A and B are shown apart, each in its own frame.
Chain A
Amino acid sequence: MTAEARHETAGERLAGLLLAPVRWGMNLIDRPMTWLQRRLGLGGVAAAFLAPNLLVFGIFVLFPMMLNVAYSFTGGGALFLNNRVFVGTLQYETLLSCRDFLDASSCREDRFWRAVGNTGFFVIVQVAALVLISLATALVLNREMRARGFWRAVFFFPVLLSPVVVALIWKWILQRNGLLNAVLVELSFEPTLWLVNRGWAMFWAIFLSIWAHLGFYTLILLAGLQAIPRELYEAAEMDGAPSWRVLTRITLPLLWPNLVVVILLALIRAVQVFDEVFVLTGGGPGTATLFLVQYIYETGLAQQVRNLGLASAASILMAAVLIVLTLVQLLASAWRERKEQR
């Protein structure tokens, strides 16, 4: 033991102990990798480093993506592609055949159109409300205040909760004998069966997803706000600008790139709404809160008779929307970075 080794803290020694098997494993891999390096050079090493990730990626992401397209052109009940019947664009035709596109009940696959309608409504209302509330919260949290960390945590922590937990927390509050009805009765209102009423079920679906994700967007916007140089505000103060003008002329324009990214991220997420709402309402009452992912899940996997082809076709249509949104989002991110560099 050398003099320096004795300076090791207990934590470092513990870490060293924990890392010992890792070190052993890594040294084990060193040999074949070195051999590879000698045989194939740096290019070969790079391939070897990429291989595990790409392999898993190929099998479980890339291949299914292509498979998805193939499935959407087949029919029948078989699970594996080689046993399935090619049906051309039949599945898409089934999904898209409607006498009146504004009336879901006139469609062959009315559940799909109800899911589309519900998802569309959800996306518009949820994203609008979510972004506004996040923005307001970020603006409040950006003020000079004590214990900002605490307040940020208050708004942020639901982000980390699982969708099942989120749904159960609120399901418990919204149930017939729940806290909300108790408060209403206390204030001499009528108690309501929140999740049995179609309109209220949608309201709470939207409320829940805002409650759960609000903190995430607030955080991004808050980071954007804090990146605005203080001098700008001080200059505005010297100019005697009233606070609403500071907001509309300085804060919002400078925050705009972040806001665009937040809106697009929220859109992408909203289109995929499923977990919390599924646990909260199961899509009900009736089809009041049936969304696209649940439609795909039920049509393709959860029903007695699986209709993989139809589900695939529906997911391809959904993917198309997501791809467009993501492309726009990537462009917006690049644009934001360019702006920030300036």
Chain B
Amino acid sequence: MSGIATFLTRRRGGASWHFTDVLAWIWLLAGLLLMFGPVVWLGLSSFKTRAALSEFPPTLLPYETSVVEVEGFDEPLPLYRVKTEDGEERLLVQVRRIGTVAQMADPEAPDEIIRVPLVAREPVREVRLATENYSTPFERYNFLRYFYNSVFVTVVATIITLIFNSMAAFALSKYQFKGRTAVLAVILATLMVPLSVIIVPLFSVINGLNLFNSLWGVILPTVATPTGVFLLRQYMLTIPDELLEAARMDHASEWKIYWRIVLPLAMPAVAVLAIFSVMWRWNDFLWPLIVLSDQELYTLQVGLNSFQGELNVQWHYVLAMTVVSMLPVVVIFAFLQRFITSGIASTGIK
């Protein structure tokens, strides 16, 4: 115990506690509670049965009333802890309930019915994970489809983004040609105009190209990201031109220089863009919401939103699917945390 205390209180140089240290720790712990708490709560809640979710006040862990198979009954019966009149405590199953009185029986001797007032009994509960929250939406609803659509959009859009952006970045960083400044300026200018500003005309463009209600309509407008072009171009500018010249002397065609020399060397930047792109596309909401009208084509985010918007919200499914839709991002983050944070810190993009 004292070991933990010294661990927690140990400070630089072993100096005594300063009030700023206290403030900092308060801030960190409050942060931990506020940032992590809701997600933990989501995770715990997603394993609760529908009945447990509607309880107030809610329990921390997912409990469920225990049931027992009893001879002579087709269905398993719920188990209760009952205080009898003589102050004794017994475990009984409920056979049926009539008004404020329950008919109960000893699971060992089910033939003898004991009448117990409702207030004198309490259900026996055990921790159980309601995994059906996860399996049912995939089986009964369209979530498997949504999941597939999201994966398709994310993977295809990212691959196209990487190829197109890196090609453009290569041209803009390694060639001198007329109009280069103009192209750069145009791309820079459009950095200022986010998608949310052009949704109306973009919608009509998508319609005109017959891409409305198609996953390609979701993918294509997102792939020519100016951010990606800039990120890669900045990196490629640091690759020495002598390498390209050496390759030219080595009989390499320009295309070969691009994919055998420049692309491998720009891998760190390409990887950063890949991670960002996966995150962007997986999390996209507004644009898929506009383009997709057919349930079958919904991405996970849109599907989740429409599911939670229904009149009678089935929270037990909503919560489980929320966890599913954040899982890939959490996994990526867990493995690539350092990479992502340093990528953001150095590029200032998100």
List the interface of chain A (C-beta within 8 A of B). 26, 29-30, 33-34, 37, 42-43, 45-47, 49-50, 52-54, 56-57, 59-65, 67-68, 70-71, 79-81, 136-137, 140, 143-146, 149, 151-165, 168-173, 177, 179, 181-182, 185-186, 211, 216, 219-220, 222-223, 243, 261, 265, 272, 274-275, 279, 282, 293, 296-297, 300-301, 308, 311-312, 315, 318-319, 322-323, 326-327, 330, 333
Contact = CB atoms under 8 A, between A and B. Distances in A.
Query: Which one of B175, B180, B229 has the highest number of Cβ atoms from chain A below 10 Å of its Cβ?
Result: B175
Contacts of A34: 253-255
B41 A160 contact: no
A319 B198 CA distance: 9
B348 A168 contact: no
A330 B187 CA distance: 13
A136 B27 contact: yes
29 contacts: A34-B253, A37-B253, A53-B168, A61-B224, A65-B201, A68-B201, A79-B204, A145-B24, A146-B7, A149-B338, A153-B337, A154-B31, A157-B39, A159-B350, A160-B283, A163-B283, A164-B322, A164-B325, A168-B308, A169-B38, A170-B38, A173-B41, A182-B58, A243-B18, A265-B348, A300-B203, A312-B200, A319-B197, A326-B192
A177 B167 contact: no
Contact of A315 (B7, B200, B256, B344): B200
Query: Interface SS of chain A: helix, strand, loop or mixed?
Result: helix
Contacts of A333: 348
Interface string B242-270: 00000000000111101100000000000
B20 interface: yes
A266 B54 CA distance: 38
Contacts of A164: 283, 285, 301, 304-305, 322, 325
Given A49-B167, A162-B284, 18 more contacts: A45-B171, A46-B171, A47-B171, A50-B171, A61-B224, A64-B198, A70-B201, A79-B203, A140-B27, A154-B32, A160-B283, A164-B283, A165-B325, A165-B326, A297-B290, A301-B199, A312-B200, A319-B197
A219 B326 CA distance: 21
Contacts of B255: 26, 29-30, 33-34, 37, 45
A177 B177 contact: no
Contact of B348 (A154, A173, A222, A261): A261
B253 to A, nearest CB: 4
B190 interface: yes
B308 A171 contact: yes
Contacts of B178: 43
Contacts of B304: 164-165, 168
A341 to B, nearest CB: 15
A39 B186 CA distance: 28
A219 to B, nearest CB: 5
A301 B198 CA distance: 12
Given A143-B24, A151-B28, A220-B344, A64 B205 contact: yes
Contacts of B28: 140, 151, 154
Interface in B275-325: 279, 282-286, 290, 301, 304-305, 308-309, 315, 318-319, 322, 325
Nearest to A310: B200
A177 B50 CA distance: 13
B195 to A, nearest CB: 8
A293 B196 contact: yes
Contact of B186 (A62, A80, A275, A323): A62
A64 B286 CA distance: 17
Q: Which interface residue of A52, A137, A168, A220 has the most chain B CB atoms within 10 A? A: A168
A315 B197 CA distance: 5
Interface hub of B255, B305, B333 (most chain A Cβ within 10 A): B255
Given A64-B201, A68-B200, A279 B35 contact: no
B221 interface: yes
Interface in B8-25: 11-12, 18, 20, 24
Nearest to A171: B308
B183 interface: yes
A138 to B, nearest CB: 11
Contacts of A171: 308
B119 interface: no
Contact of A71 (B12, B201, B258): B201
Contacts of A168: 42, 304, 308, 318-319, 322
Contact of A57 (B24, B204, B208, B224): B224
B220 interface: yes
Contacts of B333: 153, 157, 160
A79 B192 CA distance: 26
